Amino acid sequence: MRPADPGLRPALSRLYVRMGMPAQAEALLKARLKADPKDVAARSELAFYYVEQKKDTAAIAEYSHLVDDHAADSTALNNLAWLYQRQGERAKARELAERAFTISPHDASVSDTLGWILLQQGEADRAVAYLQAANLSAPRDSDIQYHLAVALQRVGRAGDARAMLESLLGSGSPFADESEAEKLLQKLKRG
């Protein structure tokens, strides 16, 4: 009824995914991008779809298109940085995360990504500052809390890390690195 409505295709693609029809979601978004390669909503949704499907190479391609077309899109820069870090392309990940932070220094997810990348690259002291800022901006984000706990442990603040992990794991909120958080807490309890 409203084929020109740009918000409907991303919503419909998410519905297809929830219904167990991922191929239809992907086809819908690709068709939209074939008709209009500059459709930011469709490209963003396709990139996110690829992340969810663990198709990092395809997600990197889509986020790269977004960054090429919209250099100031901190979300695309941030997500691309995260993907490059996951792929082991550390220098590229860091450069993109720093660009995203320059654009959106108060965005919790951007601060979290930059902090986590710095931590993974051996700069725990710098990472703590970014992760603390992210935690202040999004105090209920379990992933950020876990990242901060890891950073605190790495800079020698084991008591703070332990308290944060106990609180996080006691909350009952599931998160991606829950099993890693449990392992770290057990390590901290053993001393």
Q: Which residue has the tokens 């550390």?
A: 90
| Residues 7-50: tens digit of each pLDDT | 677 777 888 888 888 888 899 899 889 988 998 989 999 999 99
- Domain assignment present for 61: yes
Instruction: Please provide residue 11's backbone torsions phi and psi, each rounded to the nearest 5 degrees.
Output: -65, -45
- Domain assignment present for 182: yes
Give the DSSP H or E segment for 70. none
Instruction: Please provide residue 124's backbone torsions phi and psi, each rounded to the nearest 5 degrees.
Output: -60, -40
Q: Note every long-range contact of 173-181, with CB atoms under 8 Å and residues 24 or more positions apart, other chains counting.
A: 173/140, 173/142, 174/142, 175/142, 175/143, 175/146, 176/143, 177/143, 177/146, 178/142, 180/146, 181/146, 181/149
Q: Tell me, what CATH number does 139's domain have?
A: 1.25.40.10
| Residues 113-165: tens digit of each pLDDT | 999 999 999 999 999 999 999 999 999 999 999 999 999 999 999 999 999 99
**Beta carbons of 154 and 131 less than 8 angstroms apart:** no
- Domain assignment present for 71: no
Q: Tell me, what CATH number does 20's domain have?
A: 1.25.40
- Domain assignment present for 143: yes
Q: Which two tokens stand for residue 154?
A: 């790495």
Q: Which residue has the higher pLDDT, 1 or 176?
A: 176
Q: Which structural domain range is residue 162 located in? A: 105-191
